[in-house]
Amino acid sequence: MVARPEKKSARDIRVPSVISPSKAAREAAAAEKTKKPISTVVTDATDDTGANESSSAQHTALVPVGTAPVDVAHDRFQREVRKHIGKSDLVLGTRGEAYIRTNEKGNPQLLRLASKKADHWLRKVAKSNGEWLTDKKLEEVNNQLKAYAEMELKPVDVYLRVAPYADGIELDLGDDEHTIVRITPGKVELVSEGSETLFYRTNVTLPFVKPAEKGDLGKLKKYLKNIRPEMQVLLIAWLSYTLAHPKVSATKFVNLALIGGQGAGKSFLCKLIARLIDPSQVGLQIMPKNTTDLVVAAQNAHVLLYDNTRKLSEAMSDALCVCATGGTLSKRKLYTCLLYTSP
């Protein structure tokens, strides 16, 4: 739990231990469902300036539309589905969310059903068939595709930002070319095609900067001059650990608390962290008032950044620990609530 902080030195930064979520059971009946861990950064309120799963994990093969044995009615249903998605495929994620996998050049691209990008894509396909999708018709198409995915497809793993790969990881660069950064021992590659990892993006995902051929920590440390040297080491370790671990059941994240006086640069440091490991249009947020909002945020980010946190309720403290350690927060299955609205 992060309580109201004492006045600290402007250069004080702490990395708290992960607290066992012993009280999370009280929230299990009142919060949205999440099975993926999430890393969180929390700052105190004294600055109001505003300034792996197993390495051998296998990717489950996709089940293409139209491969399951069906009767005549199902066959007609499949033809209707195929009309809506063209040459693309449907994908069912392990949390029950459905995606369109567009079969274009390069690495796989997933569009979550009912998102703005998926709706725009469905309308383009319909237009190519001489049909215009009204909002009502579009809703019917989305419901039809989701029903097909739930009934006919085998759930597969999809990832946001970071995914396991053999003895390393893959990162979704977030660019229009769907470039993937593959990191294995002693090697970093930019992969423009051929990856089998399924990444999804939210409405607020922004691209990473492409990695340099040769790293230089000195370029990062020049932004950390207000932090003691030993704390710089801890921060860099936290950044490396968080970026190198996908949100899978085996991962246990560490919540980071930045504590300092007014003008110490906590908000600036949070923005720097976001740009380094999870660029997003959302930016810094205030602590949510309920666990449902926390779940929505956790499903749309690899790292949560909360600024000017004066205090944490016991319930929210427990919920953050559950998110970090991969527990479950459940209230109702309402997957359409897991979409951020673009600012």
What is the per-residue pLDDT across 209-263, written as a single tens digit (0 to 9) for each? 888 888 889 999 999 988 999 999 999 999 999 999 999 888 899 999 998 888 8
Sign of CA dihedral 97, 254, 172, 193: negative
Q: How confident is the model at residue 138 (pLDDT cuts 50, 70, 90)?
A: very high
Token representation of residue 58: 């296998």
User: Pick the residue with more confidence: 93 or 1?
Assistant: 93
Mean pLDDT, rounded, for 139-162: 93
CA distances from 289 to 30, 115, 167, 293, 296 (A): 13, 25, 39, 7, 12
Query: What residue type is assigned to position 182 of the chain?
Result: R
User: Pick the residue with more confidence: 25 or 64?
Assistant: 64
Mean pLDDT, rounded, for 154-172: 95
Q: Are 101 and 90 in contact (CB under 8 A)?
A: yes
Question: What is the pLDDT at residue 264?
Answer: 86
Question: What is the pLDDT at residue 300?
Answer: 87
pLDDT above 80: residue 77: no
Most confident of 26-30, 198-202, 208-212: 198-202
pLDDT above 70: residue 153: yes
Q: How confident is the model at residue 102 (pLDDT cuts 50, 70, 90)?
A: confident
Q: How confident is the model at residue 332 (pLDDT cuts 50, 70, 90)?
A: very low
Query: What residue type is assigned to position 241 of the chain?
Result: Y
Cα–Cα distance measured from residue 47 to residue 311, given in angstroms and rounded to the nearest whole number? 14
Mean pLDDT, rounded, for 260-273: 89
- pLDDT, tens digit, for every residue of 118-130? 999 999 999 998 9
Nearest partner of 101 among 139, 175, 80, 93, judged by Cα: 93
Question: What is the pLDDT at residue 42?
Answer: 61
Question: What is the pLDDT at residue 105?
Answer: 78
Please tell me what DSSP assigns to residue 205. B
Phi, psi of 128 (to 5 degrees): -65, -20
Cα–Cα distance measured from residue 33 to residue 23, given in angstroms and rounded to the nearest whole number? 16
Phi, psi of 171 (to 5 degrees): -115, 135
pLDDT above 50: residue 67: no
Please tell me what DSSP assigns to residue 295. H
Question: What is the pLDDT at residue 28?
Answer: 46
pLDDT above 70: residue 191: yes
Mean residue pLDDT of the chain comes to 78
What are the beta bridge partners of residue 41?
256, 305
Q: Are 172 and 131 in contact (CB under 8 A)?
A: no
Token representation of residue 318: 């427990």
Q: Are 166 and 184 in contact (CB under 8 A)?
A: yes
Q: How confident is the model at residue 6 (pLDDT cuts 50, 70, 90)?
A: very low
Residue 197 burial (10 A CB sphere; 0-12, 13-18, 19+): buried
Question: What is the pLDDT at residue 112?
Answer: 93
